[in-house]
Amino acid sequence: MNPIISVIMPCYNQAQYMPEALQSLLDQDYPHWECIMVNDGSPDNTEEVARQWMQKDNRFRYFWKANSGVCHTRNYAANQAVGEYIIPLDSDDKLGPHYFSEAIKTFTKDPDVRLIYCDTVLFGDVNEERISPPFKFENMLTENQIHNSAIFRKSDFIESGGYNPNMIYGIEDWDFYLSLLKPDYKVVKLDAFHCYYRIKAESRSIGVNAHKERNDTMLLQMFKNHVPLFLQYFNPVRDKIDAETYKKELYWHYHTIDYRVGRKICAPFRSIKRAIGRIFSK
């Protein structure tokens, strides 16, 4: 049987963690998947690890390309995918064994469902459970409610244009979901901890938090990528948004070490307001 789910895995300098990620796929109780590992010009032994796992199971596929970043790499992997559904999985994270079966059951029961996500366990330098908020499209303008390992249709991915390569410093998942989803799309959160998100001191997310200018640059870029969408929901020139709204924090950066020692980065809404102000003032 052809794979139903295609796992797209960008690989860069995470070879030491790949076995855990790949084993979590072998542990799935749903067998109809493929994993597309794409070596993004990594300087470590990613290829050696990938080939070892290809020998274990032919559902693992491997590609190499010159380094171009996570957005290009996920798009490249998605282009190789043959499954009806796609799930991104970073090579240092892992999935619980029932995620695929529960997702397929939900998609089958309700064909109107466009995306499925779940609760998350943080592990590594931080160990705790994170309950994702219920999905509400308008809230996606101020916080990313969905982790990076959501499951969605490949046809919707193609229609969205995929990950935007101009999101070079992070929050590319958030930006992608704003392209992928429409206000009337049905999104389902599974009330279970199926995703395991590794926290480590050298992670790319922490790098964003440590460089506020880069973080603001990405928030501004996200706004520019979706100007009509943001202005559909609020007019910063006409409306005075409650200041408390601006205190929302970047959802997927809330758990980082920087935050835990008290270094708070203000919410995207504040940066978005500044971005809109710059544009309207020109």
Q: Which domain holds residue 238?
A: 207-281
What does the pLDDT read at residue 231? 87
Q: What is the mean pLDDT of residues 165-182?
A: 96
pLDDT tens sequence across 92-148: 999 999 999 999 999 999 999 999 999 999 999 999 999 999 999 999 998 999 999
Bridge partner list, 94:
196
Q: Considering the chain, what percentage of its residues have pLDDT values greater than 90? A: 73
Judge if 270 and 149 occupy the same domain.
Answer: no
Cα–Cα dist 260/269, whole Å: 21
Q: Is the pLDDT of residue 277 over 60?
A: no
Residues 188 and 226 in one domain: no
By mean pLDDT, which of 84-93, 110-119, 231-240 is the weakest? 231-240
Same domain? 142 vs 240: no
User: How confident is the model at residue 266, as a pLDDT?
Assistant: 37
Contacts (Cβ under 8 Å, ≥6 apart) of 6: 33, 34, 35, 36, 78, 81, 82, 83, 85, 86, 87, 154
Shared domain for 99 and 136, answered yes or no, is yes
Which of 137, 164, 199 is a domain's end point? 199
> Do 60 and 107 have their domain in common?
yes
pLDDT tens digits along 8-27: 999 999 999 999 999 999 99
Co-location of 100 and 159 in the same domain: yes
Residue 273 has pLDDT above 80, yes or no: no
Domain limit, last residue, from 180, 199, 218: 199
159 shares its domain with 250 = no
Indicate the range of 176-180, 188-192, 235-239 predicted with least confidence.
Answer: 235-239
Same domain, residue pair 126 and 258: no
Please report the pLDDT score of residue 252 as a whole number. 38
Same domain (yes/no): 97, 231: no
228 or 266, which is more confident: 228
What pTM does this model have?
Answer: 0.83
Q: Has residue 262 got a pLDDT over 50?
A: no
Domain boundary among 199, 215, 250: 199
Query: Do 72 and 105 fall into the same domain?
Result: yes
Locate the DSSP E strands across the chain: 5-11, 33-40, 60-65, 85-88, 94-95, 113-124, 128-130, 151-153, 186-199
Is residue 89 scored above 90 in pLDDT? yes
Same domain, 167 and 254: no
Dihedral sign (CA 270, 271, 274, 275): negative
Number of structural domains found in the chain: 2
CATH code of 94's domain: 3.90.550.10
Are 247 and 184 within one domain? Answer: no
